[in-house]
Structure formats: C-alpha cells, structure tokens
Structure 1
Amino acid sequence: MIKVSVADDHPLMLEGVKRVLNREVDIEVIGEAQSGADALSMLVDAKPDILILDLTMPGKSGLDLLKDVKVLHPELPVLILSIHPEERFAVRCIKAGADGYLCKSGIVNELTQAVRKIVLENRKYITAEVAEQLVSQVNYEGRPIHDSLSDREFEVLCMIAEGKDVQEIAKELSLSPHTVHTYRSRIKEKLNLTTNVEMTRYAIQNHLIT
C-alpha cells in the first residue's frame, strides 16, 4: 500500500486529490494539511511514502516549504502540484529537490501514474520538455538574468506580468503590501527594469508567462 500525505490550501482541490487517490486499491491518503506549518507538523506523526505539495501556499511558498521538507525529511519523495504551466516553475522545483511536477489540470489522468512512478520505480515524474530544460541549463553557462531572482521574487515577477496588482499579490501569497513592494523593487534592481510594463515585457520575451 502506497501511503500519501497531501498539502493544499484549497479545500476543493484537496478533496479532488483525495478522491482520485482513494479510488485506487493500492493507494491510501493518510494525512492532509492546508498550510505549510500544518504540513510540517503532519510529517512528524505521519510516515507517508510520498508528499503531494501545492506550489502556492499561504505564507511560506511551496518552494520554500519544499526545501524545508527536504532538510527535515531528506528521503521523502515530493510531488509538486501547481496551476502554473511546467515551463514556468518545474525546473526550479526539481532543482529544489522535488521528485515530480504536475499541473493541477492533469490530476485526473496523471496523478496516480506520477505517484506510482516516483514511489515504486524511484524515478522522477517530469515531461521530456522539462528534462531538456534541465540538461540545457547544466550545459549552458549564459544563464538568463532572472535565474538570479529568489523563488519568491520569481513568483512575484510572474504575477505582476499576469497583470495582478500589489494588493492582489499580497492577498494571494499571504504577505503584506509593503513586502510585495520590497520584492518588486528587488526584481527591478536585479533585472535592471524600471516599470511594471518593462517587467511584463521581459516575462513575455523570456516565455515566463503565456
């Protein structure tokens, strides 16, 4: 029996993931959490074979939480779920220690396949396109300038480029508007940009948003 813990702050998505997994005779959901803190507490008591983790969590981001999990539970496989397309965050997640990346739109058809591949075959669950990105980044020294951004800065950049204002970003990431302004200032400084329009143009040119 494959034992699974799930961390997602959206109740409907959490129930959907549990429903998909629990219909399988060889998979059992043994723990659930709706925040990063709850997820870490859950792993103290539960001993899952894999953690399914939402990339966008309130407070600490899914990427930061992933890094914490890998420090505290280095042998625990982690499958990232995200609303974002692979080309935006998958490589960052794999580099941070994730064992797979799956868009939420694909959970009905791919979730159980991903869980079995990671747990039973001890292999990462990524597409060929993501694998090519990983290889190209290893072999290519002229890295894009946005690689200098922290995970949270990168997340804020993409949200600004999608047209979200500071208040929306602050609410979605459970941050203060002042903190979002600070991230935006750091992004502009690191990318040598001055306006949100320039940030959006940069994101489009570098295929960070669709």
Structure 2
Amino acid sequence: MIRIIIADDHTLFRVGLKQMLHSFSGINVVREATNAAEALAAASSEEAELIIMDLTMPGASGTSLIEQTRKAQPDLPILVLSMHDEPGTVRRALQAGASGYITKGSSPDTLFTAVTRVGAGERYIDPSIAESLAFDTVAHGAGDPHQSLSQREWQVLRLIAQGVMLSQIAEQLHLSPKTVTTHKTHLMEKLGIGNNADLIRYAIEHRLFD
C-alpha cells in the first residue's frame, strides 16, 4: 500500500484526484494540504511514502516548496502534478529535488504509473514531457547562458523579473539582503546582463517564468 499526501490548493481538483487514486489498487491518500505550510507539516509527519504536489501553492512559489520539502523530509519522494509543461519549468523542478513530473492533462494510466514508480523510489517523467525536454536540450541546452544558473539564482531571477524588490526577495527566500545581492550579481554576470530592464527582457524572451 502506497500512502500518499496530496498538496493542491484547488478543492475540486484535489477531491477528484483523491477519488481517482482510491480507485487504484494499493494506493491510499492519508493527508491533504491546501498550502505550503500544510504541505510541509504533512511531509514532516512521516505518515506517507509519497507526496503529490502542485508546483504553485499559497505560501510558496515555483520550486521553493520542493526544496523546503526535500530539506524537511529528504527520503520522501515528490511527484509534481502541474498545469505547466514548459521544459524549463520541468527541468527546474527536477533540479530542486522532484522525483517525478506529470501534468494535469495526463491520463489516469500515466498517473498510476507515475505514482507506483515514484512511490517505489524510481524517477518518472510523463513521456510527452520527456520528449519535449530532450528536444529542448538539443535545441537550446548547450547555448543558453541561463542553463548554468544555480537553483537559488533561478529563484532570484524569477522574482526580480516579476518586479519584486531585493529586500522582499530576501524576506521571501529567508536570506540576507547581502546574499540576495550576491546572487543577483552572479546571475547577471552569467547572463551578460547589466541592468534590470535587460534582465526582465531576457526572462520574457526565454520564457523563464513558471
């Protein structure tokens, strides 16, 4: 029996997902979470063997909840179930510590395969997403400067591009303002960018928003 936590802030989707999971043999939903704090509390309870997580939850943005969950419970596999299928978004989720990634448009068979494989300690990506990732890597991977950014630099880049002030970024990421400034300096050096306007333009042109 695979014991599962569902972390998603949309009630109707969460209820439907729970019903579908309970229709599968050997799967039981033991906890539900509607925001980042509840997800972290559920993950820390050690009641489950797998957490199915939306990529965007109240109280956390982008991949930060994946990182926080991995830190709180390193042995708990994370399966992302998101509406986002952009290669960059998928890649960042996997880099942050997700063990699997499928979309909300995936079939029930894909969901079952993902849950059983990730729950068994394996890694799984929806085949259609894996194909997009492969083609994206071939087309852009070696040449795009943003591929060299660290996960923390990704977070700072995304927030700056959204117009968030450095002091607010420091508060959101639980970092000192000096550390955020250092990350900003490093990422701008890697991208060859000298100001915020060009940084925002770069993020838009390369579809780097979650």
Letter in 2 for 1:152: Q
Counting matched residue pairs gives: 191
Residues 92 and 198 of structure 1: CA distance in aligned 2, closer, same or farther (over 3 Å) = closer
| TM-superposed deviation, 1:7 | 0.8
Task: Look up the SS of the partner of 1:51 in the other structure.
Answer: strand
TM-score (norm 2): 0.70
1:1-210 correspondence runs (5 A): 1-106=1-106, 108-120=108-120, 122-126=121-125, 127=127, 128-129=130-131, 132=134, 143-145=144-146, 147-148=148-149, 150-153=153-156, 155-156=158-159, 179=168, 190=188, 192=193, 199=200, 203-204=204-205, 206=206, 208=208
Distance, in Å, in 1 between the alignment partners of 2:15 and 2:201 is 35
Distance, in Å, in 1 between the alignment partners of 2:207 and 2:65 is 25
Deviates more, 1:3-12 or 1:145-154: 145-154
CA RMSD of aligned residues (A): 3.9
Residues 179 and 109 of structure 1: CA distance in aligned 2, closer, same or farther (over 3 Å) = farther
Distance, in Å, in 2 between the alignment partners of 1:193 and 1:48 is 46
Could you report, residue by residue, the CA deviation over 1:72-105 in whole angstroms, capped at 9, with x for unpaired residues? Answer: 2111110012211141311111111110111112
| TM-superposed deviation, 1:25 | 2.2
Residues 202 and 113 of structure 1: CA distance in aligned 2, closer, same or farther (over 3 Å) = same
| TM-superposed deviation, 1:203 | 3.2
Task: Look up the SS of the partner of 2:25 in the other structure.
Answer: coil
Residues 23 and 151 of structure 1: CA distance in aligned 2, closer, same or farther (over 3 Å) = farther
Distance, in Å, in 2 between the alignment partners of 1:110 and 1:154 is 33
Q: Which runs of 5+ in 2 are unaligned?
A: 170-179
Q: Which runs of 5+ in 1 are unaligned?
A: 161-165, 171-175
TM-score (norm 1): 0.70
Seq. identity, %: 29
